[in-house]
Structure 1
Amino acid sequence: MRIDYHTHHERCGHAVGKLEEYVQQGIRKGLSQLGLSDHMPLLHVKPEEYYPEMAMPMEELPRYVEEVLQLREKYRGQIDIRLGLEGDYIEGYEEQISAIIEAYPWDYVIGSVHFLGTWDITDYRQTAGWEGKNRLEVYERYYDAVVKAAKSGFYDYIGHIDVIKRFGYIPEEDVTHLEDAALETVSAAGMAIELNASGLRMPCAEMFPGPRMLQKARELGIPVTIGSDCHQPERLEQYLPEAREALRNAGFTELLTLQRRKRVMIPF
């Protein structure tokens, strides 16, 4: 069974392609399951006062859900569509996040940390935010947010758990203790993680998480799913063969899938 659980489309503003184009591409590629998982609307900054094209407008959220459900029915028997959401964890906005998650029939919700305050550490336009900062302190802030996301109970799995390395800003100090504390919290919370293959096309040139963290997740018994994090239909399933091989090398024999937020482990 081949799956891709992390995809984005034009509604989020920084991806291209309609939802149906991703579905049709998934069929062409022979995927068994396709997770459509666009970004949650911004909650903690005013879109008109921030960087453009960051996330779908709030008024588009119900339209997104409706369209995914329509596509699920239209292509039933050809591909299994799962309704997902990449839900930012923003400390102090837990009530608003919970309201969005509870309002719709998600198959799964990805818990991702993109923001430290109003700084999106995953946005190439905001890499100047690293200037003059102590990198270790940034990593500490980031992993503290990941730990809080895992403890929140909102999410099914943590997305790109070590995405803080995306642009190659690495502290001189060892951060193994921060990475392991995050994984241990995920394990204690009964959560999962994803192996996000998009890091292979980023400056870090490594999947999220990297091999050491992936092996640690295996040792902790943390379930793993996979996603391309594609923002163009042609990148659907990009690097996922490499991701499956990395999972095999780490000792995994099953992938996590989700339906109405219930786990189904599948062999691969």
Structure 2
Amino acid sequence: MFVDYHTHHERCGHAVGTLEEYIEAALAKGLKEIGLSDHQPLIHVPHREGSAMLMEQLPGYVEEALALQQKYRGQIDVKVGLEGDWVEGYGEQVRGLLAQYPFDYVIGSVHFLGEWDHTNSAELSNWDGRDVYETYAEYYRQVQLAAQSGLFDIIGHLDVIKRFGVKPERSVDELLEQTVLAVRDAGVCVEVNASGLRYPCAEQFPSVRVMEMMKFHEIPLTVGSDAHQPGFVAEGFATVYELLKQVGYTHVHGFTGRKRYEIEI
């Protein structure tokens, strides 16, 4: 009964494969649902090629995804989504963009701190000279704002700031607790993203500690692979779903028309 709500494809400029190839990969792996969720066209840094689809590509992406949703009906539930970028000061522009399309769900992710994409390995040098704890604090402040914005159904890879193994010497538990409470109060779902297992942090996003905190606060979860090639659909799911059960989750969540529902695991 696995579902994968986080995938990308060739339009974003840093993934490979067509939308249909991701659906076929999901079928081959026996998934119940597959979410198509490529990167929202960037608004605050529109000149950044290779980070997201271009604005003129968005209508074609949605049109193709909707057509595939119909084509595969009865074989697998295809959800038409988007991974949105939260950047402080640009929320209303994103709101206007999202309102134009019939998405099943929108993931809200914080990839950027200013113009720095901290999730991009090519920009690792931007850590040089930064106070790591203060950078973490600013990242989690932005995640909290994203959750509270009302723009998103799911918060993506909540602790992705740890992706490349850069961590402060002091504890970030207080930052995490503040963030979990903000997410709870906002009523949004959180993604357990398996892709961290493939990165230097060697741990899913978020950590088991955060998953336990979310379970205590009864925060709903969904699951995504963050696949950037069809072969990575559902990658790491045996680990992630087992952790969910160990923490005490009995359900994950799906979306249709931006309405959330439970899926038993």
TM-score interval (norm. to shorter):
over 0.9
Q: Output the CA distance in 1 between the equivalents of 2:134 and 2:82.
A: 29
Q: CA RMSD in A?
A: 0.7
Task: Tell me, yes or no, if structure 1 residue 58 matches structure 2 residue 55.
Answer: yes
Deviation at 1:157, TM superposition (A): 1.3
Partner of 1:133: 130
Deviation at 1:46, TM superposition (A): 3.1
Q: Output the CA distance in 1 between the equivalents of 2:75 and 2:158.
A: 32
Q: Pairwise mapping of residues 122-201 of structure 1 onto structure 2 (< 5 A)?
A: 122-201=119-198
Deviation per CA, 1:30-51: give whole Å up to 9, x if none: 111000000000101132xx3x
Q: Output the CA distance in 1 between the equivalents of 2:141 and 2:133.
A: 12
Task: Tell me, yes or no, if structure 1 residue 223 matches structure 2 residue 220.
Answer: yes
The partner residue of 1:104 within 101, 104, 114 is 101
Alignment gaps of 5+ in structure 1: none
Q: Output the CA distance in 1 between the equivalents of 2:2 and 2:184.
A: 25
Instruction: Give aligned-pair identity as a percent.
Output: 51
Question: Once superposed, which parts of structure 1, at least 4 consecutive aligned residues long, lie more than 4 Å away?
Answer: none
Task: Tell me, yes or no, if structure 1 residue 76 matches structure 2 residue 73.
Answer: yes
Q: Output the CA distance in 1 between the equivalents of 2:130 and 2:151.
A: 31
Partner of 1:249: 246
Deviation at 1:29, TM superposition (A): 1.2
Partner of 1:41: 41
3-state SS of 1:172 partner: coil
Partner of 2:17: 17
Q: Output the CA distance in 2 between the equivalents of 1:74 and 1:257.
A: 20
3-state SS of 1:103 partner: coil
Q: Output the CA distance in 2 between the equivalents of 1:158 and 1:188.
A: 13
Deviation at 1:26, TM superposition (A): 1.1
Q: Output the CA distance in 2 between the equivalents of 1:197 and 1:9.
A: 17
Deviation at 1:266, TM superposition (A): 1.2
Deviation per CA, 1:185-208: give whole Å up to 9, x if none: 000011110100000000000000
Specify the code of the residue in structure 2 equivalent to 1:11.
R
Task: Tell me, yes or no, if structure 1 residue 205 matches structure 2 residue 202.
Answer: yes
Task: Tell me, yes or no, if structure 1 residue 264 matches structure 2 residue 258.
Answer: no
Task: Tell me, yes or no, if structure 1 residue 236 matches structure 2 residue 238.
Answer: no
Q: Output the CA distance in 2 between the equivalents of 1:2 and 1:204.
A: 24
Q: Output the CA distance in 1 between the equivalents of 2:113 and 2:209.
A: 25
Partner of 1:95: 92
Give me the TM-score of the superposition, normalised by structure 1: 0.98
Specify the code of the residue in structure 1 equivalent to 2:147.
A
Q: Output the CA distance in 2 between the equivalents of 1:261 and 1:183.
A: 22
Specify the code of the residue in structure 1 equivalent to 2:75.
Q
Give me the TM-score of the superposition, normalised by structure 2: 0.99
Task: Tell me, yes or no, if structure 1 residue 4 matches structure 2 residue 4.
Answer: yes
Specify the code of the residue in structure 1 equivalent to 2:4.
D
